[in-house]
Chain A
Amino acid sequence: MPTSIMPAVMPGRAAAEEQAPGPSGAPYLPRHHKAGRLIAVVIPGHNEAEYIARTLEGVLGQSRRPDSVTVMCDNCTDNTAEVAARFAGVTVMHSVANTHRKSGALNQALDSITADMDGDDLVVCMDADTIIDVDLLRNAERHMEDDGRLAAVSSNHLISDFDTHHYITLMQAMEYERDRRFVGRRKGRYGCMTGMAAMYRVAALRDVRAVHGTFYNEDNWTEDWYLTMALKHLRQWRMIRPQDCLAATVPVPTISLLITQRVRWARGYLQTLRQFGVTRWTLLPWIKQLGLLWSVTARVLIFWLLWLSRGHLTAMWMTPVFILFIADAVNTSHKAGWRAVAAAIFFPLEIAYAWIITAAIITGYFRELTGIGADAEHFKRVRR
């Protein structure tokens, strides 16, 4: 187990302005903007050797190059660190006695990296299996420049660069595309500042730490959702999830892992709401939980009716309704590719997926409310 954080990461402005070789051997030139703003990228990873190279290629190939890139290896037992160290301009750190998963690793990295950064500098926290769009840093920085009260700019995550040949990955691709569309149509004002890739203003992170003790809550199942809520409650800060900040992430490959992931997300969602209580900022998410309850009740009822009086639901008058629903499914997911269109037309596939997700959410809520599995699952990792 690593015994120290090494080396100190943020080289400081003078050091950052030195030339270093880029990913393809070309000079790696930090391009500080007018105000000399720094952008530091932090990538926590636990055994991510399979994906870290593609992730780093995406970061180092940005149209606005970051001023520092740090891979924080968290209890890795594979060669994540070795793969990352092959990239010029990338600093590798190792977490120290971290028992708080990704959030603990991020806190250790951010403590070190932000120590000599200005409040107006920017930090990007992202997953080790996420490929950010080539203009993400440039666009996110522009949003930050345009609005001085912006605390965070989140990416919209898609699965566009990865395999969607299998049922479970295709369903996630459709789900993420719908999420992107939903957020975009609401001007990026809703949604979590996703842990897959989000840019934060250092001053905002420091405000969170001043109130909550750490940047990321180490006892929460979904540290990104907690941080989002923490920032919302610091009323001077705003957040956005714009359409010009896209990222591709690796889908969960099996139903079993998908359920594990969604159980954790559901636990974290409810856990965070309970931690913050009923406030102006949690009221809508609380109401959404009632919506989920209503949705499950309605679906159970409809299945019952199908059994009790199935003649009505298969009657001719339902035909235009089914056509409308299928058209809606196609309309909202067609940008995920032709396979998504085919799956949307064959709607039972999506109904089955919806039930899997619903079952996972209910399981997560039940476990959160009863405390079941809190210790046993603490170190069980899914990809996110």
Chain B
Amino acid sequence: MSVLTFERKQDGELWSETELHTLLTALNAALGSGDGRGWETGMTEKGDLQFYLLGPLPDQACQLCVSRIGRRYILEDGAGRLLFEHQSLPLVALHAKAAVSSRRWSLVARIALLWCTVRHTIHDKVEPLLIESEEIFLHLAPKLAVFA
């Protein structure tokens, strides 16, 4: 398996305020639990940014890590398991929220998450295809009409 690398964002030395706000808002419940959980930021050898959600004291081991590689956000757990990856940080943050509060999340919330993921996937992949098909149809329709 080859490791995926991406073109780096040109404007990114640090996480933007918006990005941090998105992550911290999603993880607010876990961070506010009062057991010493926290978060930190770091960087890979190549300069890709990482956001770590730390577990409770005294260990404060990484529970979740969101990395930004190019325009893609990678969500992994503390053991390196790839949980989710997407270009949309709010969607990745939603998955991070689900991962830290999995025991408390109801079935309804999980279905909502699945729905959001499907919607984003449709938006990202299927919609461009539909638009392209529509354009081709609009282009060919007058020509076909001549033969009719």
A, B assembled together: no
